[in-house]
Amino acid sequence: MSKVTIEKMPKRQKVSLERKQNLYGYVFVLPVIIGLALIYIPVVVQSLIYSFSEIEPTSSGFKTIFCGWDNYYDALFVEEGFVRTVVESTTGILIQIPIILIFSFFMANVLNQNFFGKTFARVVFFVPVIISTGIIAEVEGMSSMIDMYSSAEKMEIGSASGSGNVFNYAALANMIIETLNNTDLANIVLGAIDGLYSIITSSGVQMLIFLSGLQSISTSMYEAARVEGATGWEVFWKISFPYVSPLILVNTVYTVIDQFLKTDNLAVAFINEKLANTSGYAIASSLSWIYTVVVLVFVGIVFLLVNRMVIYQD
């Protein structure tokens, strides 16, 4: 009799200890639970209500009058430009995703090698992660608009190398136009440079994530492959690529979210414009809900597509 109890006792205690430990999990995630329960979820529900009603500002918030799908109807069929903007920015993102991923993977591989000035190159490459977000990206956008305004003026002055052209690669652009002596070709080159710049600035975080993945592959793996006589090409496809492939999923999802939500995205700018004055509030909430659904669907599709290609280790 006594033997049985002795055997049972420790087992029961272990289970209860583990359960007790797991209860601490709630304590650790408590801040988020409070935030979601008291702020986030009520706010999301409120936003949904706004999108289905007419909004009137009062002294204690907004008065809402239920009006069914009117806002959504307005957003999709009356509010011209929104659907087109969303479609345009989505196609743009669709084209950019593979380019950003391939570029950041390639550059992570390059930065992972040993060469003179490696530290300096890494520091410089991560500057865009820090800098080209939020308002700086917006100001860059504004700069190009002002450039467009003033370009006509510049042509009148006829200065190909005036200091007014120093902004945003314009001096460089003129140099390229002059050396190539061919406007069409120069335009293609300039377009490529422009595109490359936006890709560099928007692939910093992805580069970091890929680099961390590449760093975590043990060197003995490479050594073994070299002993077996594998070429660099084979090493890349048989070791590096499979190992970082889970990160391709992370990076794809991150790229999609980042591209959809950044402030210089056209659709986001459209919604922000509506949010700027009171009369646009009702339509803005329905617009942003439509946009949310678009983003969620897009993230879902991308996740499912890429998830099938990922090679998991375990």
Least separation in angstroms between residue 150's CB and other proteins is 5
User: Does 40 sit near other proteins (CB under 8 A)?
Assistant: yes
Q: How far apart are CA 282 and CA 54, in angstroms?
A: 6
Helices (H), 113-203: 118-125, 127-131, 134-157, 170-180, 183-201
- Comparing CB distances to other proteins, the nearer of 182 and 216 is 216
**Contact pick of 240, 255, 288, 302 for other proteins (by CB under 8 A):** 288
* Between 180 and 310, CB nearer to other proteins: 310
Which listed residue (101, 248, 283, 295) binds other proteins by CB under 8 A? Answer: 295
Contact between 243 and other proteins by CB under 8 A: the answer reads yes
Q: Judged by CB under 8 A, which of 52, 285, 302, 306 binds other proteins?
A: 285
C-beta of 34 vs 78, nearer to other proteins: 34
Site for other proteins in 198-217 (CB under 8 A): 200-201, 208-209, 211-213, 215-216
Backbone angles phi, psi at 52, to 5 degrees: -105, 10
Question: Amino acid letter at 248?
Answer: I
Q: Sort 150 into a burial class: Cβ within 10 Å, 0-12 / 13-18 / 19+.
A: middle
Check if the beta carbon of residue 310 is closer than 8 Å to that of residue 248.
Answer: yes
Interface pick for other proteins out of 1, 5, 31, 227 (rule CB under 8 A):
31
The whole-angstrom separation of Cα 100 and Cα 256 is: 10
Asked if 157 touches other proteins (CB under 8 A), the answer is: yes
Could you tell me which stretch among 38-46, 66-74, 76-84, 220-228 binds other proteins (CB under 8 A)?
A: 38-46
Binders of other proteins in range 88-147 (CB under 8 A): 107, 110, 113, 115, 117, 120-131, 133-136, 138-139, 142-143, 146-147
Of the residues 164, 180, 235, 266, which one makes contact with other proteins according to CB under 8 A: 164
Nearer to other proteins, 186 or 290 (CB): 290
8 A C-beta contact, residue 280 and residue 79: no
Please identify, using beta-carbon distances, which residue of 42 and 98 lies nearer to other proteins.
42
> String of b and e for 57-90 (b: at least 16 CB within 10 Å)?
eeeeebeeeeeeebbbeebeeebeebeebbeebb
Instruction: Return the C-alpha torsion angle 191, 192, 193, 194, nearest 10.
Output: 50
